[in-house]
Amino acid sequence: MEHTHSSEVLEHVHHDSSTKKIWKTFWILLGVTMVEVGLAFLHLETGFPSRVLLNAIFVGLTVVKAFYIVAEFMHLGSEIKNLIYTILLPLLLFVWFIIAFLYEGNSWKNMIKDLKPGTPIETPKAPVKEAGHGHY
């Protein structure tokens, strides 16, 4: 019973600041999502921001949300560095995966376009032109 008593005292000290932090994270996540949806609507109505800029903003804001979920809700922010690096460093492989595979996908698209039946054969011209610029 002593235990319950001391933990209750602790509760009053800690409860407020911790709970406040949790709700602050919630409002950040909700706010960021609302900004994303708002921007999507703005784009639908006015065409501003341009698709490329909008996508860049979306990806950036997604990373922001992911950071808050992992750091605050999953408490990774308050773990020791050994654990943080053990978890985050393997995820760096994603940087390579994403770049390599999206590049590959784009390259397929171009290949399919170039090899479509009836595509005028223009490709041989390009290297000749380039050679004229003194590329070699």
Give residue 71's identity as a one-letter amino acid code: A
**Interface region with other proteins, contact rule CB under 8 A, candidates 27-35, 117-125, 126-134:** 27-35
Residue 136 CA to chain centroid, in angstroms? 40
Least Å from the CB of residue 96 to other proteins: 11
Least Å from the CB of residue 119 to other proteins: 13
SS3 50: coil
The position carrying tokens 């560095």 is: 81
**Residues contacting residue 70 through CB under 8 Å, at least 6 positions apart:** 76, 77
Least Å from the CB of residue 34 to other proteins: 8
First to last CA, the chain: 85
Q: Are 70 and 60 in contact (CB under 8 A)?
A: no
User: What is the footprint of other proteins within residues 79-118 (CB under 8 A)?
Assistant: 79-83, 86-87, 90-91, 94, 97-98, 101-102, 104-106, 108-109, 112-113
The position carrying tokens 């595979």 is: 101
Cα dist from 90 to 26, 65, 69, 95, 123, whole Å: 27, 20, 18, 10, 41
User: What is the footprint of other proteins within residues 116-135 (CB under 8 A)?
Assistant: none
Least Å from the CB of residue 121 to other proteins: 20
Question: Which residues here bind other proteins, judged by CB under 8 A?
Answer: 3-4, 7-8, 10-11, 14-15, 18-19, 22-23, 25-26, 29-30, 33-34, 36-37, 40-41, 44, 55, 58-59, 62, 65-66, 69-70, 72-74, 79-83, 86-87, 90-91, 94, 97-98, 101-102, 104-106, 108-109, 112-113
